[in-house]
């Protein structure tokens, strides 16, 4: 789901901004701002998670930021879309490291970790590429970006709900 969110936002943010009346340069800058925040947080969030290890709290924070950001984009108000780009960098920058850490936190042997990672890296990215395609098909059929926003928001709501099924990091007892 993290990959679906990432690929959908990266693919559709500029066309959404252009449809809202931004120039191509403004739309590209919007995407660049989001990417800069994302890169910065790809480094910072894992460090913060090590210091404050409540994974569930971090996920809820990041997913809430993603939902707020989508609503800000949906308004079509340029100033709010700029804020939305900055805020969207939070989940895009934080969810990827969390996804990479999950196999390490939830498995006990190197073999289990390798199996989880292989499944996530292949299946996750394949599935992740399908949501932007679904959005394209829906947009082609409706020529309405309200469905695009609805699909993206639904993905974040689903991830928010699933967060309650994910526990916090397991503490391994060494004897």
Domain boundaries, the chain: 2-163
Predicted TM-score (pTM) of this structure: 0.87
pLDDT tens digit string along 72-87?
999 999 999 999 999 9
CA distances 113 to 102, 108, 136, Å, are 9, 7, 35
pLDDT above 80: residue 39: yes
Mean pLDDT comparison of 103-112, 131-140, 164-173, highest-scoring range: 131-140
- Domain 2-163 CATH class label: mainly alpha
The answer, yes or no, to whether residue 88 has pLDDT greater than 60, is yes
3-state secondary structure the chain: CHHHHHHHHHHHHHHHHHHCCCCHHHHHHHHHHHHHHHHHHHHHHHHHHHHCCCHHHHHHHHHHHHHHHHHHHHHCCHHHHHHHHHHHHHHHHHHHHHHHHHHHHHCCCHHHHHHHHHHHHHHHHHHHCHHHHHHHHHHHHHCCHHHHHHHHHHHHHHHHHHHCCCCCCCCCCCC
| pLDDT, mean of residues 54-79 | 94
Q: What is the mean pLDDT of the chain?
A: 90
């Amino acid at each position: 789901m993290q990959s679906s969110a990432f690929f959908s936002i990266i693919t559709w943010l500029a066309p959404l901004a252009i449809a809202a009346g931004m120039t191509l340069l403004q739309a590209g800058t919007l995407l660049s701002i989001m990417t800069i925040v994302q890169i910065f947080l790809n480094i910072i969030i894992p460090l913060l998670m090590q210091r404050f290890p409540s994974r569930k709290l971090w996920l809820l924070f990041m997913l809430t930021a993603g939902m707020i950001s989508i609503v800000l984009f949906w308004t079509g108000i340029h100033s709010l879309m700029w804020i939305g780009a900055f805020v969207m960098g939070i989940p895009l920058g934080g969810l990827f490291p969390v996804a990479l850490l999950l196999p390490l936190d939830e498995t006990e042997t190197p073999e289990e970790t390798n199996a989880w990672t292989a499944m996530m890296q292949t299946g996750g990215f394949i599935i992740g590429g399908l949501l932007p395609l679904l959005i394209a098909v829906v947009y082609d059929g409706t020529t309405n970006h309200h469905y695009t926003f609805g699909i993206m928001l639904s993905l974040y709501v689903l991830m928010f709900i699933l967060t309650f099924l994910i526990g916090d990091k397991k503490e391994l007892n060494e004897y």
